[in-house]
Amino acid sequence: MAESTHNTCEGLLGSLSDYIDGELGAELCRQIEKHISECDDCRIVVDTTRKTIDLVHASNTPQTGLPDDVRDRLFKRLNLDDYLKPSAA
């Protein structure tokens, strides 16, 4: 735990986002993967953090469109009433 390499819990935590986002170099990834193969707590932290981000993305997709009344009022406020045909979405 003393030195802050990627082969420690502390080192892994600092680089967690970069690792999950695929922005770490191959050598650092290798160190992290070695560490999580030996440290169950860190493996869980990596897996559950990745899953948390996946869930955020998944929960964000269904409510895509803008409510019709909100769109109507927006177009009126912007004096775009004449373009207020139904949206393609």
**Site residues, other proteins (CB under 8 A):** 13-14, 16-18, 20, 40-41, 44-45, 47-53, 55-60, 63-66, 70-71, 73-75, 77-78, 80, 83, 87-89
- The Cα 71–Cα 73 span in angstroms is 6
Of the candidates 45, 43, 54, the one whose C-alpha atom is nearest the C-alpha of residue 21 is: 54
> Min. distance of Cβ 70 from other proteins in angstroms?
6
User: What six digits make up the tokens of 46?
Assistant: 């990596």
Of 14 and 37, the one with the shorter C-beta distance to other proteins is 14
Least separation, in Å, of the C-beta of 67 and other proteins?
8
Q: Distance (Å, rounded) from C-alpha 49 to C-alpha 28?
A: 18
- Least Å distance between CB 34 and other proteins? 19
